[in-house]
């Protein structure tokens, strides 16, 4: 009877089911995780507060200090939890929470050092900046403002992902899996820009999934799409490589316009590098032998060593990247059960298999060779830029492996792989087969139940 109902009823809405479970998961992450306990959350919060004051370009105080002028109560109102990272035996101090609840925003300003985020473009910080402005101009405390930013970022990220899943005509299930990974949820429910960025990348991939070799794209829509990709690229430069992918859908129609997304992305990245990064850039980890200029020189003079460097890095850290992509919560110090990583890997593989299973169906439209080639090459190039950039700015000169790479950096890149899948006639569908669609929605719902329970158990056990 149940199987008959699953097969005969109208299609279940994958997007609505995702919205329900993702909303629960993002609230869990936002409320259970103590302040500052996602990677670089303090400095992301500082960048949002800086932007809320109308300051876009930061301030370099010395070769080692870069950030900006923030209310002097900022650090006292948000710190007190520094004993938690990488100390699994420590739990959240109720006294520290109570003390932070009494610290309000003040008008006196003092310099705060946040060199790793002060150089980021403002676009994906705007929801947090607006929320910080509201918090500063009401009776909210600093800690309350940070939680408000978490919830605003979280719900906005979930809503964007929901829209992307509903609009997708390729790989909707694959997008839903990426959008529900514990790492995605944890970043979304934080003060970081990463949740917004990942959701926008998922939306960009979803929009491209609606194009095919027969699509007629207006000049206005092409310009808007180009601006969208430029915002993604300037917010996370490795995504500059992904801005080449749209070329495949315009190349045969208007060759001169085909590269507009890439050209505009390059202009945005170069302009921001000159305007926003150069005035505040400092040398990271100089005391440990890290030097941007010397590392570039080393690479240029040891080109034949690059393949070995890549292989050794992946051999040593590949599993760690995969686990972090799924979710190692907190300051990358709260792993999930090994069985959940296995389940997640199987779920990703099944989502890809189901998405490609309709390849021989006469109702689908297959991707062109150009689109497939650009998708593969661009995503690989984007991943390569992640490793290259971290080798230059975060690894000791001539280091045998790339340091500083984290699995979460690949979350905004993976969504574009849906462009390798067949295009369906109906948006938001998993398969032309109603039976397969229904079964897949039921199966992913079961995964999301496990996903939510795993997140709440891991965070509660770690911090409380």
**For 409-449, what is each residue's pLDDT tens digit?**
999 999 999 999 999 999 999 999 999 999 999 999 999 99
Half-sphere exposure of 256 (CA within 13 A, CB side): 1
The answer to whether the beta carbons of residues 447 and 220 sit under 8 Å apart is no
Name the average pLDDT for the chain.
Answer: 96
- Name the residue with tokens 């409380």: 464
> Distance between CA 17 and CA 21 in Å, rounded?
6
Q: Note the pLDDT of residue 2.
A: 46
Q: What is the pLDDT of residues 211-244, one digit of tens each?
A: 998 889 999 999 999 999 999 999 999 999 999 9
- 394 is written with which tokens? 């975060």
- Residue 314's Cβ-count burial label (10 Å; 0-12, 13-18, 19+) is middle
Sequential DSSP letters for 279-319: TT---TTGGGT--HHHHHHHHHH-GGGHHHHHHHHHHHHHH
In the sheet with 59-62, reading across from the earlier edge strand, the strands are 59-62, 65-71, 109-113
CA distances to 6, 179, 209, 344 from 442, rounded to whole Å, are 9, 17, 24, 16
CA–CA separation, 138 vs 134, rounded Å?
6
Tell me what pLDDT residue 254 has. Answer: 84
Contact (CB, 8 A) for 460 and 37: no
Residue 1 has pLDDT above 50, yes or no: no
CA–CA gap between residue 101 and residue 134 (Å, rounded): 17
């Amino acid at each position: 009877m149940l199987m008959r109902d699953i097969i005969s009823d109208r299609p279940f809405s994958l997007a609505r089911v995702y919205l329900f479970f993702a909303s629960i998961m993002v609230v869990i992450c936002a409320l259970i995780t103590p302040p500052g306990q996602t990677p670089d959350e303090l400095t992301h919060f500082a960048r949002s507060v800086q932007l809320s004051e109308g300051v876009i370009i930061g301030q370099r105080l010395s070769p080692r200090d870069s950030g900006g002028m923030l209310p002097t109560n900022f650090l006292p109102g948000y710190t007190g939890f520094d004993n938690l990272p990488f100390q699994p035996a420590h739990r959240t101090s109720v006294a520290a929470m109570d003390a932070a609840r009494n610290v309000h925003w003040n008008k006196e300003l003092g310099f705060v050092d946040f060199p790793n985020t002060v150089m980021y473009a403002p676009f994906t910080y705007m929801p947090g900046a607006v929320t910080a402005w509201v918090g500063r101009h009401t009776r909210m405390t600093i800690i309350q403002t940070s939680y408000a930013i978490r919830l605003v970022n979280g719900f906005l990220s979930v809503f964007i992902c929901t829209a992307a899943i509903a609009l997708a005509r390729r790989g909707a299930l694959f997008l839903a899996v990426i959008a529900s990974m514990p790492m995605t949820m944890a970043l979304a429910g934080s003060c970081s820009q990463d949740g917004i960025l990942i959701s926008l990348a998922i939306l960009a991939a979803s929009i491209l999934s609606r194009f095919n070799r027969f699509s007629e794209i207006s000049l206005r829509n092409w310009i808007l799409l180009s601006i969208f990709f430029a915002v993604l690229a300037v917010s996370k430069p490795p995504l500059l490589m992904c801005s080449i992918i749209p070329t495949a859908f315009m190349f045969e129609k208007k060759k001169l316009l085909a590269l507009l997304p890439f050209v505009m992305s390059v202009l945005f990245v170069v302009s921001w590098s000159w305007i926003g990064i150069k005035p505040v850039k400092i040398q990271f980890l100089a005391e440990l032998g890290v030097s941007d200029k010397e590392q570039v020189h080393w690479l240029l003079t040891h080109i034949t060593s690059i393949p070995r460097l890549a292989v050794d890095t992946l051999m040593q850290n590949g599993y760690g990247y995969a686990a972090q992509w799924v979710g190692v919560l907190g300051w990358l110090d709260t792993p999930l059960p090994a069985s959940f990583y296995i389940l997640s890997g199987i779920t990703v593989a099944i989502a890809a298999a189901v998405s490609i299973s309709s390849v021989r169906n006469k109702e689908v439209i297959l991707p062109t060779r150009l689109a497939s080639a650009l998708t593969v090459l661009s995503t690989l190039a984007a991943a390569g830029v992640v490793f290259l950039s971290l080798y230059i700015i975060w690894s000791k000169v001539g280091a045998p492996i790339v340091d500083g790479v984290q699995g979460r950096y690949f979350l905004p890149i993976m969504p574009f792989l849906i462009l390798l899948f067949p295009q369906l006639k109906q948006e938001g569908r998993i398969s032309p087969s109603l039976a397969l669609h229904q079964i897949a929605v039921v199966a992913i719902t079961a995964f999301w139940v496990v996903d939510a329970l795993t997140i709440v158990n891991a965070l509660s056990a770690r911090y409380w």
